[in-house]
Structure 1
């Protein structure tokens, strides 16, 4: 009975996206509709980001400003303040959403995300060491990226099997995250409190004072990794049936899983390098995408769009809510993720899984 219900729930009307005369990609109509709605909501949130507030660009002038006609204050807001920040938010959210979808597909765990394997904690430790022990010598984003890479290298070695075994990966990641957190706490404790204050926003995840250089970095990572993720999307879909079935269908589950984890880490590291360790986007975006479509598979495109929407909305709140104005955006994503995690735990408990 359970299997039949699952089959009915995951089945969905499929159409085909035709590319030329030889390629026909199967797509679910429901997924396409939800993806379009998500994209429209993201555009609406982006318009609100640029137009609301004391320095906002008036709606009648916004189209002209975006197409190159901005002058005076509008030009400053678009080119220096909100334009780069918005572009980084969209790119970072998209990268985190795609990263989480890849990781959750490999682990087959709704609570899985790159944060679980210590990437965010490693980035925080690297940022702390650079900002507080080596001030002015190395940029903080480079320190964060170095910390993330070292944490992943330690996880890779600790598992004894690289990134192929999801269970070992999570266990090793928890241990590495604990070590990295200890390093961060020690560094913060060892220096003067006023020096440690400059690190607080970065450790929480922040989009303040972003530049077009940051935007170029995250979008370059996306442009390089997204096509690779698209190439393995079908194999990931098959791999969710189990290693034996996937191997019989030629999906090469071990290679597929390793590739997906590496791509997930690259995306997360790119996001961390421009905005710090923003929590829970990688966890919640793929889950929301999967539940909205009511289908099987990782839903990479929709998870990417959902990640962008969630982070743009969180940043809009960070800029415009008067009571919590100018808080790091990571605090808002923690609130979103914490609420969703609570819902997820209650749901799993009611189903008897926990």
Structure 2
């Protein structure tokens, strides 16, 4: 079987396994925690789309996660619209918010891009804190309903399955983006922006579009999170939210897209376990585990696993490599080639002429 066929079959197996895991998750753990995991998984995939495939590290994606949460809550509370429409509206708000921020940021790279996006996110945080008449200030938006066409979805178990399709569609969109020609151009820009620009690609325009798409996916995740918990708070806009999702991406593996889901599951489960146990130094434990994993798995958890699988597929076993150059068992050894006769009394040059 060809390597391409094996890779395609392996991808299908992983997609099916991920779908099954998402469907059975609220049966295995507390449903609100399960909802947190899938929402943060989509948020991590959105950040990885920008970091792993475009090469831009954003510390300001909390603006789109938290901004969409507020927009979704306001649409439901004051517009009276069902929450699916509100989630879409929150994602649109996040994309529109990303346009001016991205336009002013994508011309920078490295730490400069990270700091500029962080500054914009903190500006939005202070704006939400001061605009108490709309955002509720420090109290946030509370009592966001979950009704849909008369159905009562206040039970977290049932709402998990109502919000899961939005998360799955967001992950499918991220997967399609990175596998499209547009995604290939993003990778080329990440690897060598000067060469991509020389080939005629408008680098800043591609980066801006990737930034907006990443913000829209983060907005979907933030909207589902706000509806699922029934509130939107300032914590969603704070810089620690951006730092946490970046940590999830690094834990799972940068540029793997699905690794963020593993990082989200580890961080959310660990935080829930420590909070339930009454431990207050959650940041110390999560930070220590993050350092250990980064030191042991330089490519992240899923990135390391994928690298090991790829290495095993491409490297033949030592026994096979040795047998390839040996004669089959029981076969006669090949006779040595006869030496070229040298004419008697001839010179070396004459012998060379005879061989030619």
Structure 1 length-normalised TM: 0.53
SS for the counterpart of 2:5 is strand
SS for the counterpart of 1:303 is coil
Q: 60, 67, 77: which is aligned to 1:122? A: 67
Mapped to 2, the partners of 1:158 and 1:48 lie a distance apart of 36
What is the CA-CA distance between 1:119 and the residue it aligns to?
1.6
What is the CA-CA distance between 1:214 and the residue it aligns to?
0.9
Mapped to 1, the partners of 2:284 and 2:84 lie a distance apart of 24
Indicate whether 1:97 and 2:74 are aligned: no
8 Å CA contact 2:51–2:58 kept in 1: the answer is yes
Unpaired runs of 5+ residues, structure 1, are 1-14, 26-31, 54-81, 201-206, 291-297, 347-354
8 Å CA contact 2:128–2:137 kept in 1: the answer is no
Q: 309, 312, 327: which is aligned to 2:262? A: 309
Seen in structure 2, the aligned counterparts of structure 1 residues 177 and 255 have a Cα distance that, compared at 3 Å, is closer
CA RMSD of aligned residues (A): 5.4
What is the CA-CA distance between 1:324 and the residue it aligns to?
2.0
Seen in structure 2, the aligned counterparts of structure 1 residues 310 and 42 have a Cα distance that, compared at 3 Å, is farther
For residues 228-263 of structure 1, give each alpha carbon's deviation from its aligned partner in whole angstroms, at most 9, with x where no partner exists.
Answer: 222144333322232112334676634542332232
Alignment of 1:205-354 (within 5 A): 210-231=159-180, 232-248=182-198, 253-276=203-226, 277=236, 279-280=242-243, 282-290=245-253, 299=255, 302-304=256-258, 306-317=259-270, 321=273, 324=276
Structure 2 length-normalised TM: 0.52
The aligned length equals 268
Mapped to 1, the partners of 2:24 and 2:113 lie a distance apart of 40
Mapped to 2, the partners of 1:137 and 1:335 lie a distance apart of 42
Mapped to 2, the partners of 1:127 and 1:45 lie a distance apart of 24
8 Å CA contact 1:93–1:281 kept in 2: the answer is no
What is the CA-CA distance between 1:326 and the residue it aligns to?
11
8 Å CA contact 2:38–2:261 kept in 1: the answer is yes
Query: Where does residue 174 of structure 1 map in the other structure?
Result: 118
8 Å CA contact 1:142–1:273 kept in 2: the answer is no
Unpaired runs of 5+ residues, structure 2, are 145-154, 227-235, 296-356
